[in-house]
A and B are shown apart, each in its own frame.
Chain A
Amino acid sequence: MFLEHVNPLQASIFSSLAVVSLLLTFVMLGSHWLQNYVYAFAVQSWLIAALSASVGYFAGYPELYVIAVLTALFRGLVLPYLLMRIIGRLNAKRELHAVLQPSSSLVLGALLVMFAFVIANHMNRQSFLAAHVVVMALTIMLSMKFLGFLMLAVRDEAVSQILGLLVLENGIFLGSQILVPGMPLLIEIVILFDLLIVVACFGMLVRFLVVHAGTTSSRQLNRLVG
């Protein structure tokens, strides 16, 4: 496994990139504005692209460069562009009636990170020198998944829900880049196109909701209409 002989410099590059992406998830969690979510998501995707490029460079997987370019292109440019178009068409510029206040969700998120760390620590059975990189990657992957779930659960605007989904997916992608860097190229491409389709479908759904229901907030869409 590549991580068994990672040197301190590589370990610190990987951990700083991963930690900053985790921090950007918290930007999404703590901000009121929908636009900030999209910017944070875009920067996070660029960081993940840099991460896959550096893993590809240090571990000698040339196909990871392709994945890095695709990630930067799709997750860093196309998806944010589509999301900004969706937001531009909406009349909601920010999450007003969040179930949890941003500050409470930040604190809850911090607790979830601790929970993720405990789980990752239990899962780690390796005893080699760079085991902390494995724990770090697992922790950040799990915490980004938890934070994505948290965003899905407590936000009620359609756009923030799809961003929760994307963050969740970014977390898995980030973890897989560090833990199993040799994952077949085809699977990665399939995941990327899946995401593109998810966002495109969501765009259509949002347009439909705006026209027919007048709102995209799940809070106001709780009545069954026959």
Chain B
Amino acid sequence: MTLSNLVLQICQVLCVLLLAPLLQGFILKAEERIQRSRGPNILQPYRDLWKLFHKQAVVPESASWIYMIAPIVAFTAMLIVPILIPVLTDRPLPQSDMGDMLGGGMVLTLGSFAIILAGLDSGNVYGGIGSSRAVMLAILAEPTLILVLVGISLLAKAMLPFVVNHLLLGSPSTYWSPAHLFLILAFFVLLLVETDRLPIHSPTHLEIYMIDEARILEYSGPLLALLKWASMMKQFILYTIFCNVFLLPWGMSQIGTPFGEFGSVVALLVKFLLVALVVIVVETVQSRLRFYRYQEPLATGFLFAVLAIVSSQLM
């Protein structure tokens, strides 16, 4: 018995929606365990969201309609992206040709853009600082992202993530080519930067160097819950792209039976476990960089992407 394509597509979105807090909870827990303290329960992000959804929303007097609409835009953007990328099945589902990789990148960036506007909207000082820092990081990270997308499309001769997945599954020589390995390294740098991890983002939130927390400082109640959930989903989506398109293209359902879908959820969790452990090691051994050294990891990522493109021309 195979599930219909529509059901599969809904399953992809639901998988991202429901499992994103679990990934966040695992990372928080494991980080604390490495530092030999107990850490919060792995289900704590779910409880936080539940609590926030039952609280009253307090809106600042200076806020305009952008303040109300930004969390919804950000949340919706994160719901659209899982339709476009291979989460559970490795074949293109009917709606997945709505946008290629650049389209997915645009929707992801649209979510961040809405939050940046919201940070500026209420006139709070911290919101402004957070937004300006986030924009600076986006400016530094965007060239690398574009080059990574160009590099992977040069390898696969296509802009669709499914084609890349099939190519990497089918030819080990492409998988182990320097071009692809450099792309993995470049995307890993992007992953650290975009999911608020350490060389740049501070591990303790609500302090003077905060970036993402500063933008949403004015929010409370259900709107805050939406924003937090959107950022967890963004992390989950980026991990999915990193695993299913770049690093570990194996273990995805091909036909679409319920059992196969369940298997690919389990495989996805195992892959995320591996990537999250690497991220946690980086977070534990790295200290936060000074503000004026933010460009160093991003320049390294840019370099990897350029090397990947040069070596993809050599093949």
Q: Do A and B come from one complex?
A: yes
- The interface stretch among A33-41, A48-56, A132-140, A212-220 is A132-140
Q: Is the CB–CB distance between B303 and A110 below 8 Å?
A: yes
User: Is A103's beta carbon under 8 Å from chain B?
Assistant: yes
Tell me the smallest distance from the CB of A109 to a CB of chain B, in Å.
Answer: 7
Interface-forming stretch among B34-42, B61-69, B72-80, B294-302?
B294-302
> Which of B97-105, B192-200, B306-314 forms part of the interface with chain A?
B306-314
Give the total number of A-B pairs whose CB atoms are below 8 A apart: 58
Chain B nearest CB, measured from A24 CB (Å): 12
A102 near B307: Cβ-Cβ < 8 Å: no
Interface segment, A15-23, A161-169, A171-179, A185-193? A15-23
User: Contact: A16 with B300, CB < 8 Å?
Assistant: no
State whether B306 touches A114 (Cβ < 8 A): yes
A104 and B299: CB pair below 8 A?
Answer: yes
Bound form: Cα–Cα A109–B176 in Å:
24
| B contact residues, range | 10 to 19
Q: Is A113 an interface residue (CB 8 A)?
A: yes
Residues of A within 8 A of B313 (CB): 117, 121
B221 close to A (CB within 8 Å): no
Kindly report which residue of chain A lies nearest to residue B292, judged by CB atoms.
Answer: A101
> B296 near A30 (CB under 8 angstroms)?
yes
Cβ contact within 8 Å between A103 and B307: no
Chain A residue at smallest Cβ distance from B311: A19
Of A101, A106, A111, A114, which one neighbours B300 at CB under 8 angstroms?
Answer: A106
Chain B residues whose CB sits within 8 angstroms of the CB of A104 once the complex forms: 299
Return chain A residues, CB-CB under 8 Å to B173: 8, 12
A26-B303, A110-B303, A136-B311 are known contacts; what are 4 more A-B pairs with Cβ within 8 Å?
A106-B302, A110-B306, A117-B313, A132-B315
Mark A residues whose CB is within 8 Å of B.
8, 12, 15-16, 19, 22-23, 26, 30, 101-104, 106-107, 109-111, 113-114, 117, 121, 132, 135-136, 139
Q: 29 A–B contact pairs at CB < 8 A? A: A12-B176, A12-B177, A15-B178, A15-B314, A16-B178, A19-B178, A19-B307, A30-B299, A102-B296, A102-B299, A103-B293, A103-B295, A103-B296, A103-B298, A104-B299, A109-B303, A110-B302, A110-B307, A113-B306, A113-B307, A113-B310, A114-B310, A117-B310, A117-B313, A117-B314, A132-B314, A132-B315, A135-B314, A136-B311
